[in-house]
Amino acid sequence: MSSPKPSVIAFPPECSVALVELGARIRYQRQAANWTISDMASRLFCSKPTYMALEAGKPTVSIGILIKALWVLGLADGIQDLCPLTIGEPANRRIRSRKTNSLNIKGDELDF
């Protein structure tokens, strides 16, 4: 068995609890729809162990699998409420300046 990634080792406990709770909510919705783990995995085009890891709240499961599971269960519309967009642009947005031709070559000088 391989050793865990540093990002998993440094995973905050509060985040782990949130993932476990989210996995339990997904499991509840799956069971309410009378779908088996195999049914759900086939709907997500993933393996049973991957789907079981999602329900277990493992932090290594792809965010794509998570969003697709919410979509399959009809819950994807609630994602916008998790992180709403604010109106207007961020105050510290970087704006690139246009590059200028540092050689200042005129058009007729480019004709060889």
Tens of pLDDT along 29-57?
999 999 999 999 999 999 999 999 999 99
Please say if the pLDDT value at position 3 is more than 70: no
Do residues 56 and 20 lie in contact, with contact meaning Cβ atoms separated by under 8 Å?
A: yes
Do residues 69 and 54 lie in contact, with contact meaning Cβ atoms separated by under 8 Å?
A: yes
The per-residue pLDDT for 85 is 76
Give me 6's structure tokens: 């540093």
Do residues 23 and 57 lie in contact, with contact meaning Cβ atoms separated by under 8 Å?
A: yes
Containing 82, the helix (H) or strand (E) segment is: helix 79-82
DSSP 85: P
The per-residue pLDDT for 81 is 83
The predicted-structure confidence for 54-110, as pLDDT tens digits, reads as follows: 999 999 999 999 999 999 999 998 888 887 777 665 656 666 666 655 556 666 665
CATH of domain 6-75: 1.10.260.40
